[in-house]
Structures are given as C-alpha cells and as structure tokens.
Amino acid sequence: MLVIPREKPTLGNMNSYYVRIPRLIEHFQGEVGGGALHFKSSSTEGILFFDKDEILNGFTVGRNGETKGRDVIEQLIRSTESTNYILSVYQIRTEDIYFWSTIPNAKRIYQDLSTEFTDLEGLVKKMGTEELTGFIEVAIGQSQDGGLIMFNNGQVCGGSYSWGTGDSLRDDQDLARLIKMTKERGGLFHVSRMQPADPAETVLDLDSDGEEFTPAPSLRVLTAIEELMVIFERAVMTVRNLDADFATLLNRKFVEKAEKFPFLDPFAAEFKYADKKISFVGDTTDEELIHGILESTTEIAEEIGAHNKFKSNLETWVKKYKPEVDTFKIKI
C-alpha cells in the first residue's frame, strides 16, 4: 500500500538523474532523523522509509503490480540507473517513523466512504470501539487538502495533515480542524488495518478429556517482540570491539535463560530471530514471552555497555505498546 505523508515535502521536485540516492538518504538521516523518500515516474511509484540509522522498509507500485519489504529497497535504488524519477523527501518525527514504516503491510478494510453517508467524527469513534490499529485516509472535496489519522488499539496516536510541517505536533486541534473541513466541504475516507487489534488471549487446545490447554502468544505481542528485537539489534551494532557476533551474543544469553524460560532454549529452536524477523512455534503466554525477551536483551545491553542506547531507542516502542507495558508491569 502506497501512502505518503500529507505535509509538504522538506525537499521536492528533484530529478533522480542528478542524485545519488544513498548519499541523499544519509544526508537526511543526519539532518532530520526519520523520514520518507518518495519516487515517482510515468511507470512506477515507490517510497522508502528511514530512521537515523537505516532504511526500514520500501514499497513500489507499477505495471507489474505491487512489491514491498526490505528486498524492495535495493531494487528501487538500482532502478534509478535506468528510470528517471521525481524525488521528494518528507520529514517524519522519530515517534511516528516506525508506524509509517509498517504502512506498506496494511490492509484496507473500508474504501471510498463518502461524507454523504459517513460522518468522520462518527467514523473515528467507531474505529475506537473496534480497537483499530491502523489509519484513516481523508481527502477533502476536490482539493489537495486532507489528512491521515493514526490509531493504536483504538486510540488516536498521531496524524499527518496537509497544512502541517514535518515536525509539527499534530494534536487534537488538527483532528478537530480536519473533521470541521469534511463537514463544510465534504470528503472521502479509506480505513486500513495494520494488524489485528485483538487483545492478548490464550488459545485452548483441549485433549479428549478436556484437561490440557496450550497457551499461545497473541499476534500483537509477537509483533511487539519483533519490533523490540530490531531496536535491540541496532543498539548492539553501535558497540565496537564486541567479542562475538550478534547471533552468538543472543544464543549465549538464551542458554543462560533456558531454565527460567524454556522456550528460549536455542537447541529447542522454538524462538528464532534472523533478518529482522522472528518466528515462534512454542507454547507460552504473552507475559512470559515478553518478559523472557526483555530480560535477555536488557542483560546483554548492560553487559556490552549499550543499555543507555537501548533504553533511549525503546521510548517510542514503550508508547506504542503502553497497554502491554502497563498490563505486564514492564520496566525498562
């Protein structure tokens, strides 16, 4: 799904023929921290999301359909050798960049909802009751005005508005202004879900006597763990002169923790992390999984001198998963 920030670009209308993409991204990583680089040609449109350390995700749409994920990053950069794009750079606040970087994976659940039949204020409330984690795209009448309203577990957690700037706060006044504009000038809405908003739950697997059950982590917690591991890996990679590679450091700690958290035992291979993705085939609860991973990563960070970096980088994660942080009494 191709969605770009609604604000005016920090820098726009650049021809890719004259630009070295890696250098451009590197410059803005240092200049603004997080952002998006938008590519547009007559045949292809794409976007790359980056934070201050790396390019996080990519998406393209063209004659051959849609492609997304980290594999797109190199393909899109290389395509500038044969295709001229118009480039635009958008600043995205640090606290919002990880939300934006997962937008290409979103699924549209409502499309072309018109103000003739739907009130935006009512739609926002409805998405709250449905505990939406995702966003509402809003187009105002026939103009270029509009916005994007972000939700986390049914709570409005941010937005992007055509009158804003890359570092604007995007507070309740912006949302109220957008709602007012739709009432006065009409509008069109699309709603997308980024991941199931189901609460943490236990999946039962009863035997013939109905005496046993198998707990399984929720999708939301697995997603939270995957994002945490990516943040942790980046913090570790900033440390020089490590006595082992990242995978070895992780497995050493998992061996130490295997008695307390059996699902972490590397030899059982229930929990795996590689290429910024996790897989989990074991049996445990949301609380046990999240505490096992946090305890392991925090101890490694302390042992190698990366605790402050890791803790600082987790600030956005803590805000995003505040319901779990509070429920499971997580302390960073």
pLDDT bin (cut points 50, 70, 90) of residue 69 is confident
When comparing pLDDT for 41 and 274, which is higher?
Answer: 41
Q: What is the reported pTM?
A: 0.61
Decide the pairing of beta strands 146-152 and 134-140: antiparallel
pLDDT digits (tens, 9 = 90+) for 157-179: 889 999 988 777 777 899 999 99
Task: Say if residue 72's pLDDT is above 70.
Answer: yes
Q: Where are the alpha helices (DSSP H) in 52-150?
A: 71-79, 94-101, 120-129
Q: What percent of the chain has pLDDT over 70?
A: 93
Task: Say if residue 201's pLDDT is above 70.
Answer: no
Task: Say if residue 70's pLDDT is above 90.
Answer: no
Task: Spell out the residues 6+ positions from residue 15 whose beta carbon is closer than 8 angstroms to its own.
Answer: 84, 85, 86, 87
**pLDDT computed for residue 203 by the predictor:** 37
286/283 Cα distance (integer angstroms): 10
Mean pLDDT, all residues of the chain: 88
19/37 Cα distance (integer angstroms): 12
DSSP-derived letter for residue 18 is: G
pLDDT digits (tens, 9 = 90+) for 130-144: 889 999 999 998 788
**pLDDT computed for residue 210 by the predictor:** 42
Averaged pLDDT, 228-248: 92
pLDDT bin (cut points 50, 70, 90) of residue 195 is low
**pLDDT computed for residue 94 by the predictor:** 84
Cβ contact 74:62 at 8 Å: no
Cβ contact 113:149 at 8 Å: no
**pLDDT computed for residue 209 by the predictor:** 46
pLDDT digits (tens, 9 = 90+) for 14-27: 999 999 999 999 99
Half-sphere exposure of 15 (CA within 13 A, CB side): 4
Give strand pairing partners of 55: 50
**pLDDT computed for residue 188 by the predictor:** 93
**pLDDT computed for residue 211 by the predictor:** 44
Q: How far apart are the first and last CA of the chain?
A: 34
pLDDT bin (cut points 50, 70, 90) of residue 60 is very high
Length of the chain, please? Answer: 332
204/197 Cα distance (integer angstroms): 19
**pLDDT computed for residue 215 by the predictor:** 64
Averaged pLDDT, 24-32: 93
pLDDT bin (cut points 50, 70, 90) of residue 332 is confident
